[in-house]
Amino acid sequence: MSGQGITQSDTSPLVVAGFEDALKRLVQRVQTQECPSFDAVPLDHEGRPNGGSPHLAEVLWVGGGSPSGGIRWRPAESVKRAIEALPSLRWVHTDSVGIDHLPLVELRQRGIVVTNGGDNFARPMAEWVVLAMLAAVKNLPAFVRHSDDGYWARGLFQDELQGKVALMLGLGSFAQVAAKLLEPFGVEVVALVRNPRSPGAVHGVRLVYGDRWRDELPRTDFLVAGLPLTPSTEGIVDTEVLGALHPAAWLINFARGKLVGQAELITALDAGTIGGAVLDAFPEEPLPSGHSLWGRPNVLVLPHSTWFSPHVGERAERRFVAQLWRWVEKEPLVGSRDLEAGY
């Protein structure tokens, strides 16, 4: 599986490892001259090399589009097995935004560069953030359930987004797009970021640093969890955080399930100390049948699908191809991850 065109050097062709279905799509781009030429090391679904020269592969692509236009997610065990089988590996690119599924310690020890999917999924996830907020203020879950029961539900409380406050824990790609989409609705957006940025770097968003986000909790209407999962962020939404929210506030988590203390969330929902939650990420997936989060009138459980759109597969491939051209031309890659920090 090789194409004609630019290679990394005259004597050493670029060797790329990836799962077989993804590499087939990449070869099609080589044939249309969209992608630099490469020699392929196809991997089976368990991450084992299935041809080519795995000892020469310097690039590993974790991802690839699916027939539905989405992304094929690869099990962490398969990815780890692939990395171990590629002794000359220098760069790993994953279509995902989070990198917590990668063996970061091994990658760091081997000096391997990691890049991620960037804004591949920002638009669909941002639209879900807006939808979740609208559903909460318009009491949509209750209307849907009454509609299913054939009940004419007059008098259900409804509100507006104008003047509401959204606190974003993290200002990654989907949170940035969500902030832009929320601006016409009159939502005040506050965002926790790790490092101070220049004023106005994200239009209309007030930035907070360190623990100052906790001071914003009493006036927060929507707490949006968007942080990467690291030892320092695991369980960050705990009893103290949930207790500081007012009783009508909603939690939105489309990032990682372990950002939220699940037992603490259930306690808050049972006590009525928060308004509700829209959840697309859980510590255990699928969420088990009979779990306490199922069937609640103020909780919407989503099957980890807010990232999906028929456009994300194409978007992911184009991002990787653009990175591959940079690698061939010896230009800096975009969005290299901090393996020490874990994101």
DSSP states along 288-334: PTT-TTTT-TTEEE--S-TT--TTHHHHHHHHHHHHHHHHHTTPPPT
Q: What is the mean pLDDT of each run of 10 residues along the chain (343 residues)?
A: 38 88 92 95 96 97 81 91 98 95 96 96 98 97 94 95 98 96 98 74 88 98 96 97 98 97 98 98 96 96 96 94 96 95 91
Nearest of 132, 114, 47 to residue 86 by alpha carbon: 47
**Which pLDDT tens digit goes with each residue over 158-200?**
999 999 999 999 999 999 999 999 999 999 999 999 877 655 5
| β-pair partners for 117 | none
**What pLDDT is attached to residue 222?**
99
Distance, in Å, from the CA atom of 318 to the CA atom of 237, rounded to the nearest integer, reads: 35
Longest Cα–Cα distance of the chain, Å, equals: 75
CB 42 within 8 A of CB 15: no
DSSP states along 117-146:
-TTTTHHHHHHHHHHHHHHHHTTHHHHHHH
Cα angle 333, 338, 339; round to 5: 115
pLDDT at 199: 54
Torsion sign across C-alpha atoms 132, 134, 139, 140: negative
> What is the gyration radius of the CA atoms in the chain, in angstroms?
22
Task: State the DSSP code for 213.
Answer: G
In the block, which residue shows the tokens 């003047």?
A: 163
Tell me how far apart the alpha carbons of residues 266 and 261 are, in angstroms, rounded to a whole number: 9
CA dist 228 to 232, 234, 236, Å? 10, 9, 11
In angstroms, rounded to a whole number, what is the distance separating the alpha carbons of residues 232 and 304?
A: 23
CA distance 223 to 328: 42
Give me the pLDDT at residue 66, please. 76
Select from 282, 259, 279, 305 the least CA-distant residue to 124. 305
Give the relative orientation of helices 312-328 and 20-31 as an angle to the nearest 10 degrees. 70
| Structural domains of the chain, ranges and CATH numbers in brackets | 15-120+311-328 (3.40.50.720), 122-301 (3.40.50.720)
Q: What residue has token string 């009940």?
A: 151
Phi, psi angle pair for 26, to nearest 5°: -70, -35
Task: Tell me what pLDDT residue 1 has.
Answer: 40
By DSSP bridging, strand 15-19 and strand 39-43 are: parallel
For residue 91, what are the β-bridge partners?
Answer: 59, 113
Q: Would you state the structure tokens that stand for residue 280, as one six-digit string?
A: 């697309």
Residue 53 vs residues 31, 42, 88, 89, 324: alpha-carbon distances, Å: 21, 9, 10, 12, 19
At residue 68, the pLDDT reads 76
